[in-house]
Structure 1
Amino acid sequence: MFTGPVFFENRADAGRRLAQAVAVEAPPEPLVMALPRGGVPVAFEIATYLRAPLEVLIVRKIGAPGHQEFGLGALVDGEEAELVLNREAVRLVRPPRGYIAAEAERQRAEIARRRVLYLGDREPHSPRDRNVVLVDDGIATGGTIRAAIQALRRTGVRSLLLAVPVAPASALASLRPSVDGIVCLSTPAFFRAVGLHYRDFEQTSDAEVMTLISRARAGGCDDA
């Protein structure tokens, strides 16, 4: 893990550089799982390099009333969408009665929409009893990725390796007990936002996600 300032040209560049580091740590026959949308271009490069299947794990943040960036938890897709709450954040905010349930239902609809777009009629790869490499384009507070980790653990993964280009050291320290390993290229001493470490951090579109998933399957990386 490096602590110096690392600037990536874009998510694909970050993915190619991250892939080489992941290859050293990755267990046999990994399943690469990406948090869409921004994690998919990074994960595509890793899956291609490892010749591993690429899957998406759709996670939607449950934001606080009037402050959507402050996460109260997240809804994680799976055989059944799972709500993972940050109990400390909920106690701090004290959202109105029924707010979390209503917000979860709204995010459940968005998960369903994205699942149809990204998967179509394809059955997703199950992480159960698999060596999973979980990928995003970076971590800020770690709330969303923490929910994803908890949900994956409950599915019965064999092992879980977290791979991100950039994250604050404090966030990684809080996540380390929950995973079997972490690969991160940069942990800036003064961390402000993920996007500041990319020259091009344009929002990833649904169309790009769909294209990369199709390319992964066509390239033979989706057969395992």
Structure 2
Amino acid sequence: MFSDRIEAGQRLGARLAAAGYERPAVYALPRGGVPVALEVARALQAPLDLVLVRKLGLPYQPELALGAVAEGEPPAVYINDRVWRFAGVSDGELEAVKRRELAELERRRARYLEGRERVSATGRTAILVDDGIATGATARVALRALRGARPRWLVLATPVAPPETVEAMAQEADEVVCLATPAPFHAISLYYRRFEQLTDEQVVAYLAEAPVEAPGPPAGEG
């Protein structure tokens, strides 16, 4: 049981700091993952960024998930082939949904990070953080987006997740760090004493507190 996301992040940060990762960069899944990731970034003295993910809903039934898309270069897309075939969605309709959701991801990045540059995962230890993982659907597509940036090592870190999800995520990340793996697993909120919904304003405030990476030495020095 964690008292709140801050305490969970401090405990997770202590575990990760002991690993001695080379050139770590921390990536949060908003909204709930942001305060956890902030404490991890502080523990590692690492820069903090986001990986934003959106559900891809059916064109005529948006609440039913066809898959998900995560921002990245290139964006990572996960499609549930069984739903796609059953729904009869055309390639053109799928592309239209993807474009719309990617535009929304860009809008949210501008809102949360207020124009700050992205933190490149290339050649670094990229650490994806959430406040808890249930099925792993969102984490999976976010990990694939980070993998596309060619990190040296890819870590998924979370305070709590069911053991079967940890096992499944080990196929996507180079390493999974999870403080608690209760079985049977219930809703993530049950493992926190305080688990309030976060607002966009709170997310912006947390991100503003993140460590700033010092610039490297000028060419020819260091």
Structure-1-length-normalised TM-score? 0.85
How many angstroms apart in 1 are the aligned matches of 2:53 and 2:88? 23
Distance 1:96 1:57, change over 3 A: same
In structure 2, distance between residues paired with 1:110 and 1:10: 29
Q: Partner of 1:9 in structure 2?
A: 3
Q: Give the counterpart of 2:148 among 129, 154, 175.
A: 154
Q: Give 1:57-68 correspondences, 5 Å limit.
A: 57-63=51-57, 68=63
Letter in 2 for 1:40: V
Match of 2:165 in 1: 171
CA RMSD across the alignment: 2.2
Structure 2: distance between partners of 1:178 and 1:50: 23
Q: Is the 8 A contact 1:75 1:104 kept in 2?
A: yes
Contact 1:39 1:137 survives alignment (8 Å):
yes
From 190, 214, 217, the equivalent of 1:223 is 214
- 1:41 matched to 2:60? The reply is no
The one-letter code of the counterpart of 2:49 is E
1:47, 1:221 within 8 Å by CA — same for their partners in 2? no
Kindly indicate whether the alpha-carbon contact (under 8 Å) linking 1:31 and 1:127 is maintained by their aligned counterparts in 2. yes
Q: Which residue of 2 aligns with 1:95?
A: 87
Query: Partners in 2 of 1:146 and 1:116 — Cα distance?
Result: 23
Contact preservation (8 Å) 1:32, 1:135: yes
Q: Is the 8 A contact 1:26 1:133 kept in 2?
A: no
- Would the aligned equivalents of 1:48 and 1:221 in 2 still touch at CA under 8 Å? no
Tell me, yes or no, if the aligned pair for 1:71 and 1:143 is still in contact at 8 Å. Answer: no
Match of 2:118 in 1: 124
Q: Deviations over 1:41-69 (max 9, x none)?
A: 0000010111111111111123567584x
Q: CA deviation at 1:205?
A: 1.5
Contact map agreement 2:158 2:177 (CA 8 A) in 1: yes
Report the Cα offset of residue 88 of structure 1: 4.8
Q: Distance in 2 between matches of 1:119 and 1:55?
A: 8
**TM-score, normalization: structure 2?**
0.86
The separation in 2 between residues aligned to 1:103 and 1:198, in whole angstroms, is: 35
**Which deviations, in whole Å up to 9, do the C-alpha atoms of 1:70-126 show, x marking residues without a partner?**
7542111124433222435545xx234256444434422321221111222222111
Residue in 1 aligned with 2:199? 205
Give the aligned partner of residue 4 of structure 1: none
1:35 to partner: Cα distance: 0.8
Counterpart selection for 1:78 from 59, 72, 80: 72
What is the identity, as a one-letter code, of the residue corresponding to 2:204? M
Q: Which residue of 2 aligns with 1:52?
A: 46
Q: 1:28, CA displacement in angstroms?
A: 1.6
1:176 Cα offset (Å): 0.6
Distance 1:57 1:109 in 2: 14
CA distance in 1, matches of 2:120, 2:144: 15
How many pairs does the alignment contain? Answer: 212
Percent identity of paired positions between Structure 1 and Structure 2 = 42
